[in-house]
Structure 1
Amino acid sequence: MTAPIAFLDGPWWPYLALLLFAVIPTEMWRWLAVAFARRLDDGSPWLEWVRLVATALLAGVVAKLMLTPPGVLAEVPLFVRLAAIAVPVATVLLTNRRVMLAVVAAEAVLIGGAWWLI
């Protein structure tokens, strides 16, 4: 059996693994995106397509979490979860697209409904 590498056997190895396998690969793509994004036109059809795909992916993840929730969220009644979707949509439409206000409204409905009913 090989002796372990002293540096990797200490308390710092999880941080090294996190840096090597999570931070560096992610940051590499972010920096490449920044380098290439400088040359993109804000109104280009390709960038509009990327925005639409990103929005659709986010909507799909939110819908999946609300309709088939994991863990403790499954204990929250369906009507509260659906209200936590409807209230921020109405907030965005009524407040001139203020997204942060909509996020706070969604959290308030979900946390308040869970606290009140569970």
Structure 2
Amino acid sequence: MSFADLGPYLFIVVAGWLATDIWRWAGVLVGNRIDETSEVLNWVRAVATALVAAVIAKMIFFPTGALETSPLWLRLAAVVFGALAFFVGGRFRQIAGIAAAIAFLAAGLAIIGP
């Protein structure tokens, strides 16, 4: 593989880095001036939470790929199980919730089959 063959990949890496890194630096510069209890930051948190909830809902009710083979009741049960693990997870809440939901879904698919 020659350097000319790597050109498009190098462009993608550099362009992707520049596109995201600019916003990261802007966030650092502006973020230092925002009060943690301000209404602006509360709004940003609400929008971020809504986006995550929307993506999760889309994955549950309109799945694609391998998740599409699982029944709706199993996906909903995995979310409930993951939420319970999150609330009792202690220090590792996020990891516990995600791992528990994935394990529940995998076990359910292994039991009922594809």
Matches of 1:105 and 1:12 in 2, distance apart? 40
Q: Which amino acid aligns with 2:76?
A: L
Is residue 2:22 matched to residue 1:28? yes
Query: Which of 8, 15, 23 lines up with 1:14 in the alignment?
Result: 8
Is residue 2:48 matched to residue 1:54? yes
Q: Which residue of 1 aligns with 2:33?
A: 39
Q: Structure 2: which 5+ residue stretches go unaligned?
A: none
Matches of 2:110 and 2:20 in 1, distance apart? 36
Matches of 1:47 and 1:89 in 2, distance apart? 25
Larger Rg: 1
TM-score by length of 1: 0.82
Q: Give 1:91 shift.
A: 2.2
Matches of 1:85 and 1:92 in 2, distance apart? 10
> SS of 1:114's equivalent?
helix
Query: Which of 87, 91, 100 lines up with 2:85 in the alignment?
Result: 91
Give the paired residue count.
111
Q: Give 1:63 shift.
A: 0.6
Q: Higher helix share goes to which structure?
A: 2
What CA RMSD, in Å, does the superposition of the two structures yield over aligned residues? 2.0
Q: Give 1:96 shift.
A: 5.0
Q: Please, which moves more after superposition, 70-79 or 97-106?
A: 97-106
- Sequence identity, in percent? 37
Q: Structure 1: which 5+ residue stretches go unaligned?
A: 1-5
Is residue 2:67 matched to residue 1:73? yes
Q: Which residue of 2 aligns with 1:101?
A: 96
Which whole-Å deviations, capped at 9, do the CAs of 1:40-79 have from their partners, x for residues lacking one?
1111121111111101110100110111101221111111
> SS of 2:5's equivalent?
coil
- Report if aligned partners of 1:76, 1:117 keep a CA contact under 8 Å in 2: no
Matches of 1:114 and 1:81 in 2, distance apart? 10
